[in-house]
Amino acid sequence: MRRRQWMTAALAAPVLGSLGTTLTGCGSAPPQALPALPGPGPDNAPPPAPREFRAAWVATVANIDWPSRRGLSDAAQIAEIHAILDSARALRLNAIVLQVRTSADALYRSTLEPWSEYLSGVQGQGPGYDPLALWIAQAHARGIELHAWLNPYRAKQSGGKSAAAATHLSRTRPEWVKKYGDQLWIDPGEPAAADHTLAVCRDLLTRYAVDGLHIDDYFYPYPVQDAAKQDIDFPDDASWLRYLHGGGTLPRADWRRDNVDQLVRRMYELVRELRPAARVGISPFGLPRPDLRPAGITGFSQYDKLYAHVEHWMAMGWLDYVAPQLYWPRAQKPQAFEPLMRAWQGVNPLERHVWPGLFTSRAANETEGWPIDEIPAQIELTRTAPPTGGHLHFSMVALLKNRRNIADTLRAGAYLHAALPPETPWLTAPACGAVALERLADGHLRLSARDGAPPRAFALWKRDARRADSPWLFDLVGPDGDLGAIGDGWLLSASAVNAINREGPRVTFSS
């Protein structure tokens, strides 16, 4: 708790102006190393780095966020990637959650599943570059984490228009895929289908330097109703009967929950095996199990309808962060934001990260009627003791387009200060060593790691040493360490940040 209080208090520190200047030619003169100074004394030491996970979902399904429409040229798609990441950096976000598998398809080069139709308009027809590889490289260059978001069960979304590619599961393994309403779903009760989804995860974790693997609220599908407004049961008779004939004894609802439980467990174990520092995130529907809700909270039960026992996953430690979709305003009492946030914090015995999902796109929609201060106010609630340490926006397009001035409002208020994502102390990663600072021939200053793990980013404090009352100013710097041109008379305190956002030793320099 004390660590959380320090992290929250540190958000009051002033922010350093943008230091992400592109490094230009360094000329022929060798870099000049600047000597480290003794650490500042207790009276003028920089405070702890402010900590907060600030992310936005980038939805590719139905071209919600990226690409903005099907059939864009490679150059146009790439330009949009840069624009989104530049906007995220300017807004002082520190993570992007990118949807890379919408419907048993791929937004990256894959031999397991076909290219997504949301790129070219035709499933199986891909671009001339690898989108995920570019997203990761460009996010990391800006000091931004990239989490890969998958839908484990959906096989075709209602807005899908393309015919299925020859390599799509609906054609190669039609016995796994069920039509339900106007969508196609992979049956969670098919063990071989679960194996295939885990093979997709293994492929992603092996070939791409993702910072996290993320799944959302689509487990068993949301119920479809008939003309009499009665729920139509999911058509999994074949897998259910096979389970019973094999000696299974669970009731059908518990069997369905166990199918999802085992996929979540195996996915978590796979991430720990292949990429130990990557975080597993799940963003479930925002209402907890009915018997664990605060008084007055009512609504849909994902436990009973989606067969998602999220509270069990938290108790078992099968995730590193949960991002419940708290997509309601504060004043909507049956689904009020703060009581729901506190309820999720209260079912967290292993103290995993609880980072609420905010419905920023709806709040930024003129026709929805949400108060203009709803999202800033919700962010402030996440910082009120006990703080959550982070949040995610659905979705990036509202911030990118600055709808209802939401991006400007956040930049000038809630995000006035940069922040480092919280550590994930139950994970391990190689530590970063001390940093060095050098002045290049063009006058730029550049940080580098002397030893230890390659840094994911650098944490930098800056203070005008010529003024006794000068505050410390904080910023995150990308892994290239470029600080731009900084004049004389500044005191700099810097550390390298590793894959789980743990700082290495701080070193202080004078410019």
Contact in structure between 296 and 339 (CB atoms under 8 Å): yes
48: left (phi over 0), alpha (psi -120 to 50) or beta: beta
Contact in structure between 105 and 113 (CB atoms under 8 Å): yes
State residue 382's pLDDT score. Answer: 98
User: Strand 457-464 relative to strand 473-477: parallel, antiparallel, unpaired?
Assistant: antiparallel
Give the pair of three-digit tokens for residue 358: 């905010």
Q: Which of 395, 400, 406 is nearest to 371 (CA)?
A: 406
Q: How far is CA 478 from the centre of its chain?
A: 18
Give the pair of three-digit tokens for residue 262: 């085992």
Backbone φ, ψ for residue 163 (5° rounding): -65, 150
State residue 34's pLDDT score. Answer: 58
State residue 511's pLDDT score. Answer: 83
Contact in structure between 360 and 398 (CB atoms under 8 Å): yes
3-state DSSP assignment of residue 291 = helix
Helices 337-345, 374-382: crossing angle, 10 deg rounding: 30
State residue 30's pLDDT score. Answer: 58
pLDDT in tens, the chain (511 residues): 333 333 333 343 333 333 333 333 333 345 666 566 665 454 578 999 999 999 999 999 999 999 999 999 999 999 999 999 999 999 999 999 999 999 999 999 999 999 999 999 999 999 999 999 999 999 999 999 999 999 999 999 999 999 999 999 999 999 999 999 999 999 999 999 999 999 999 999 999 999 999 999 999 999 999 999 999 999 999 999 999 999 999 999 999 999 999 999 999 999 999 999 999 999 999 999 999 999 999 999 999 999 999 999 999 999 999 999 999 999 999 999 999 999 999 999 999 999 999 999 999 998 988 999 999 999 999 999 999 999 999 999 999 999 999 999 999 999 999 999 999 999 999 999 999 999 998 889 999 998 999 999 999 999 998 888 889 999 999 999 999 998 889 999 999 999 999 999 999 998 8
Element (DSSP H or E) covering residue 322? strand 321-322
Helix segments in 246-301, DSSP class H: 252-274
CA distances from 278 to 151, 181, 317, 388 (A): 18, 35, 14, 20
Q: What are the residues facing 181 on neighbouring strands?
A: none
State residue 21's pLDDT score. Answer: 31
What DSSP character marks residue 414?
T
Residues 6+ apart with CB under 8 A from 216: 149, 151, 282, 283, 284, 325
Residue 494's Cβ-count burial label (10 Å; 0-12, 13-18, 19+) is: buried
Q: How far is CA 182 from the centre of its chain?
A: 29
Q: Give the whole-angstrom CA distance, residue 469 versus residue 489.
A: 14
Give the pLDDT confidence of 233-249 residue by residue, as tens digits: 999 999 999 999 999 99
Query: Which domains are delineated in the chain?
Result: 2-49+430-510 (2.60.40), 53-222+250-412 (3.20.20.80)
